[in-house]
Structure formats: C-alpha cells, structure tokens
Amino acid sequence: MQPHHIAASLLLIAASAHAADSEPQQVKVSGQRADQRQRETTTSIVVDHDEIMRQGDQTLADVLKRLPGISITGVPGRGGTISMRGLGNGYTQIMLNGEPVAAGFSLDALEPETIERIEIMRSATAEFSNQAVAGAINIILKKTVKRGQRAFSASLARQAGVDTPALSATLSDQDGRLAYSLAATLTHKRSEAPFTDLEERRDATGAVLEQRRTQKTESGHTDALTLAPRLNWTLTGGDTLTWTGFANLRRVDNVHGENETALIGPHSEYPRSVANFVANFAMLRSDLNWTHLLESGAKLETKLGASSNRRSGTFDFNGMDSDGKPSGRHHVDSGPSETSVTISGTYRHPVGERHAIALGWDASRAARSEDRNETLFDASGAQTGGSNADYRANVNRLALFAQDEWQVTPHYSLYLGLRHERLSTASRAEAANAPDALDLRSQVWSPSLQSRYELPNKDVLRLAISRTYKAPPLVKLVPRRYTNDNNNNETNPDEQGNPNLRPELAWGMDAAYEHYLGAGALLSASTYVRRIRDVTLTRLFQQDGEWVEAPFNSGNASVRGIELEAKLPLSPKLDLRANLARNWSRVDSVPGPDNRLENQVPFTANLGADYRLPGAAWTFGGNLNYQAGGPVRQSALVQMNTSPKRELDLYGLWKMDAKTQFRISASNLLRQQSSESHEYVNEDGRGRRYRISQTPTSATLRILLEHQL
C-alpha cells in the first residue's frame, strides 16, 4: 500500500468514527512483544536493555542509529547529534526519565549499561512536553529490581591505537516492602583524531587568490563515573513511593593542534596553534514519585524533581607564526551551570470499562548562569584586552493538560489530548560589557489526536494529528558573541544569539499501516507531514568588520517523509530486520534548489541480522547503516554539503554458562572518510570562498565480559 493511500484511508476512518477516550499507556515494542504495539492506541518503539546491549555498543548513538527514522550527525564511529525524521537542532525532544534534559546535556554522558529502555515517540501526547516537532526520545534509566541480583561487567575498546577501559556493576535486592537497585559505570576514554581543512578564495573570473591547507589533530581523555540508584517502597494500601537518582561526573582534557600551509596567498593570523581545554562536569538528578490509589480504580501520581548541571573549566589558545614562534595567547575561564526544580502530577480516572480520562500539571523553574572571563595577550605576554560576559537567567514553565482515550468499538480506539504550556525567560547582565537583559514570554496550545483501527486480518491503521513547537534555547537568545580565535571569514564566522527569536509552531500529521505476521514478525509503512511557522534559519552578516552568524525567524517550512520497517524472525535461529526512511523539506524563504532545513538528513537505511548457532552458546550478527548527505542551501549566498555515511558493525556473543557471557564487537569497519564543506558566494558576484574539512575514521574493536553472582 502506498503512503498516500494509507493517509487517505486513515482520514476516512477518523471522519466516520466517533470521538472519545481511555487511559494512555506506554507501548513497549520488541521482537517478542509486537502484539502490544498492535493493541495500543498510542504507540512508541521501545528498545529494551537486552537489545541495547546486543551488539556491545560503546555509545548510545550507535544503538539509536539502527532504529527507523533515527539519524546521527557527525563523523562515523564518533557519535554525534541524534535526530528524528532527519531533524535535530531542537526539533527532536530528548528526555531522561520523562523529563526534558538540561541545556548542554550530552548523550555521551550515558553509558548503555545504565539504561533500562529507550522509548521512541513519533507523535505527541499531552502528558509529555510538546517541544517535539520531529518526535521525542525518552531514555529510562535502570529501575527493574531483581531479587539478589549482583552483575558485573568489564570492557576494553580500541580505536585509532588508543584504549578505552570500562567497568560496570548492577546491584539490586528486596527486603519486605523495600526494594533497591544501583547501576554504576566507570570509564577512562581516550581519543586521537586527525583531520584536514582546505580553504580557498576566488575572484569573479575564478582565479585563486588564497589557498590554505591546515592539518589538525584532536586528542585527549575523559574520565567518567555514572551512578543510577533507585529505592522503591510499597506502602500500606498499595501506594508506592519511589526515589530515583542519577549522577554523572566527568573530567575532560583535550588538546587541539593546527599547522597551516599557505599554498597561494598569505597565511592567517596564527598559522600554527595549540589549544587546551580542561573541564570538570557534574550532572546530578533526583526524582521522588508518589503513586496513590483511590476508589473506583482512580490513581494520583505526583513527582518532585531537582537537577543540577555544572561545568567549570579553562581554555588556553596559543597562537604562533609559521616558524612556531609565539604570536598571541587567549585565556578563558568559564563556569556555566543550570539548576532546576520540577513538580508534576497526573490524576487518572476510569469511566466504565473502555473509557478513562487523565488530568495533570507540569511546572518547572530553571536558573542558568555563566561566568565567562576572557583575557588576551600579545607575543610578549603583555595583556592587550579582555571581556567579561557573565549573565544570569531564569526559565519558568507551566503546563496543564487533559487527555482522554476511548475504546469506541472492539476495532476502533481514539485518543484526544490538549496541553497548554506557558514559558517565560528573564536574564540580567552581570558585567558592563555583558549581553543585554531579556524578558520574553510565550504560550502554546497543543491539541493532539491519535486513532487506531484494526482490520479483520488484525492489521492496524493509525492516524495522528498534533500541534507541536520548538522554543529557542537560551544560548540562541542571549546576544553574546562567541568569537573564533583565528581566521574569521565567511566560512568561519563568529556566532551570536538573537533576543527577538520567537518559538516555531508546527501542525503535523502521522499515518501508518502495520501488518502483523505472528511470532513477533512485523511489516510497517508510515508517512508524516509537518508545516512549520516562524522557522529559525542562520543568517550571515558583517558587524564591526567581522563575519557573524545569528539565528532569525524566516517564514515557513514544509517537511514530509515516509518510513518502512520490517522485523522478520525467519526461524528460531535467524532474525532479520530492515528499515528505511526518506525525508524531504522546503524552506519558503530560501531559493532552491536544495532549500531544505539546515542539517536535515534526507535518507537513512539499515539492514541487520542475528543468527544463533545450535546449542544457543554462540550468537552472531551485525548491521549495515547508510545515511545520506548532500547539499543544503542556508541562504541565497551560503551552501553546505556533507558526505554520506556507511557503517558496518558486527558482533559475536558467547554464553559461557548460565551466569557468564562474553561479547566481541567491531564497529565502523568500512572506515569511510567523512567530509563537510561550506561555500559562500559574494552577493555582487565578485567571487567566492570555499572550505572543506576531511576526516579519516577508524574502526573500533570492543570486548565485553559480563558475569552474574
């Protein structure tokens, strides 16, 4: 069935059906539990812990890249920004235990061993934040309690000649009404990454005026400790009280070196340089949940949470001339931090056997501050300048929601939700030359509808319609300039925020046809469309003689795509899985061709298999991932291009006995070189500037030993 036929069929079903309601549920999908996905009105793809660990991945990004519609920007084998429908940059909502993550949070802080499951939500529901134009990814930390569990693992990964060892432990037990669990991981990660920049400037006739080649190296190490404790009390009357904690402590020490060769024309200001970044990160989170059972099956759930995300560090840039003699130094002390408090609650009440309503609230207050002092020195070490850009900001959010799910007939069910979310951002400068103060307020009404119709052969048709939005992050609002240390030009500009940014609003529709073959087998085809208002684009301009880029609201954009998925357990020994996604977008205010949204991935595909040898002691498998690149036009004058990504990952699992197993995995075996280019054409047609970065990649070999006491 073609995607447009699916959408038309679902619209006819929704138009002829009644409106209504029942309690929304999280749908957990795996190869063994596809029937649950088949039954539920609201649906999400859920990856459980066994599937997360199956290929012995070192990073969460490697796990997610194999899922339908998920893409990872950046260099192959090194993680990157996670996107749904090809859209990152805030269009994809990332949550930790159901709460949006703090600004600056990196998924690299989460070790796969500490994660219980991952929920991929393609359509919005009123219960969660509707800042999810492309969709949402909810990461659930370990909380399942097994009596008397003691599990340990040790791993060693090797990439580009350097080793990354890691140790993990999981403890859990139960004593009467009290249960507890603790997951912990200790990692020492090392990295070595060379890459090359080629830059040139041409005049109107095409003659080369400047051409430079710069060899760059990035090396360093990261020490990290991750803890995920959990306590669960069962109270008298069936109530439960649960405390969940999370702590990630990291120390980063990175060195970046550059060695420039001027092939034609002059050198930049600092042909050679060495930069050192040393920082300590501390992310702490605490959530207390109380579930109270009421009469007639009603239930009240409340949650109080607090989090702190802090970084303190120094950055030293040492510029040199072509002979390696000191030319200047830049020193930066910075300490951004964000603390937040959240309180939320949901009241669920059944109405008859097939109908339920839920009412709730969700409020938070976040305080963000940044202490940033920069000092400039000349070649002799004398101070030549400096700046202080300290600021403080508060971000308040209040949301009220109602949702209703109704099993209208044995074959048709409907979900309706409405969420009202109000945001306010206020900041003040802490220094005379710091950014101006902000006082911004916005509010969004977000209705959502999801419907499910089961055909006589048990296949399922789905339709979802929702309004979502993307609020600008604080770093994009504060009009502070982030300057480059060297070689400011059209393809290497400074960055600056825009206090006049407005939220982007989007209407969207999702439709799907799911064909179930039994025994966990599934064939699925889905399509989606989004219409985005006040889309944010990056604009390049000159200010005080320097090139600067800043975000601006620039009209409307359209997004659409299709996704195909197959899970085929062909026998008790062999499983096959495949998926592909094609994404399109068009920005109305940017001339074509290639006027799609910035950084949108146009196409992704995966093909994977698992084979269990007789006796079940050995399992082998792998996955081939493809992610398209291509040109994208940022404006009439600026165009970027990225190379496609091809990654082959293989693994083997040996179950030595009932309590011990050994994994070996190899990722990025194709070792494809990555490239990214940036081109600027002068408005008057008098020439162009072009820059391309080329990065070789390496395979990663990892061994992992797991043992339960």
The torsion of the CA quartet 126, 127, 130, 131, rounded to 10 degrees, works out to 180
* Tally of helices (H runs) and strands (E runs) in the chain: 5, 40
Whether the pLDDT of residue 213 is over 80: the answer is yes
Tell me the average pLDDT of the chain. 87
Could you tell me if residue 161 is left (phi over 0), alpha (psi between -120 and 50 degrees) or otherwise beta? left
Establish whether the linkage from the previous residue to 68 is cis, with ω within 30° of 0. Answer: no
Tokens of 111: 């070790």
**What's residue 30's pLDDT?**
38
The C-alpha angle with vertex 223 and arms to 329 and 141, in degrees rounded to 5, equals 125
Mean pLDDT of 314-339: 93
110: which strand partners? Answer: none
- Confidence bin at 11 (pLDDT 50/70/90): very low
Cβ of 606: how many Cβ atoms within 10 Å? 21
Instruction: Categorize the per-residue pLDDT at 354 as very low, low, confident or very high, splitting at 50, 70 and 90.
Output: confident
Considering the entire predicted model, what is its pTM?
Answer: 0.87
Q: What is the mean pLDDT of residues 466-482?
A: 87
Residue 694's alpha-carbon distances to 195, 551, 630, in angstroms, are 6, 26, 15
Residue 635 CA: distances (Å) to CA of 532, 537, 599: 18, 9, 13
Per-residue pLDDT band for 16 (boundaries 50, 70, 90) equals very low
d(CA 105, CA 383): 34
> Using an 8 Å Cβ cutoff, are 697 and 664 in contact?
no
Confidence (pLDDT) at 435? 55
pLDDT (0 to 100) of residue 199: 95
Q: Give the start-to-end residue ranges of the domains of the chain.
A: 3-338+348-506+518-708
Q: How confident is the model at residue 698 (pLDDT cuts 50, 70, 90)?
A: very high
* DSSP assignments along 370-383, one per residue: E-EEEEEEETTS-E
Per-residue pLDDT, averaged over 90-119, amounts to 81
Which fold does the domain 3-338+348-506+518-708 belong to in CATH?
Maltoporin; Chain A (2.40.170)
DSSP 19: P
In the chain, pLDDT over 90 holds for what percent of residues?
60
- CA–CA dist 542, 233 (Å, integer): 60
Residue 432: the pLDDT is 52
Q: Which residues contact 308 (CB under 8 A, 6 or more apart)?
A: 282, 283, 284, 285, 337, 338, 339
- pLDDT on residue 433: 54
- Contact by Cβ (8 Å): 492, 484: yes
Confidence grade of residue 17 (pLDDT, cut at 50, 70, 90): very low
422: pLDDT strictly greater than 90: yes
The pLDDT assigned to 509 comes to 96
DSSP string covering 70-120, please? EEE-SSTTS---EEETTB-TTSEEEEETTEEPPTT--GGGS-GGGEEEEEE
* 3-state SS assignment for residue 219: strand
**Angle at 437 (CA atoms; ends 431, 438), nearest 5 degrees:** 150
How large is the average pLDDT for residues 280-294? 93
- Say if CB 645 and CB 76 are below 8 A apart: yes
Query: Locate tokens 């020193």: which residue?
Result: 331
Q: What is the 3-state secondary structure (H, E, C) of 539-595?
A: EEEEECCEEEEEEEECCEEEEEEEEEEEEEECCCCEEEEEEEEEEEEEECCCCCCCC
Question: Where on the phi/psi map is residue 296: left (φ > 0), alpha (ψ -120 to 50), or beta?
Answer: left
Across residues 533-553, what is the average pLDDT?
A: 93
The mean pLDDT value for 252-271 works out to 95
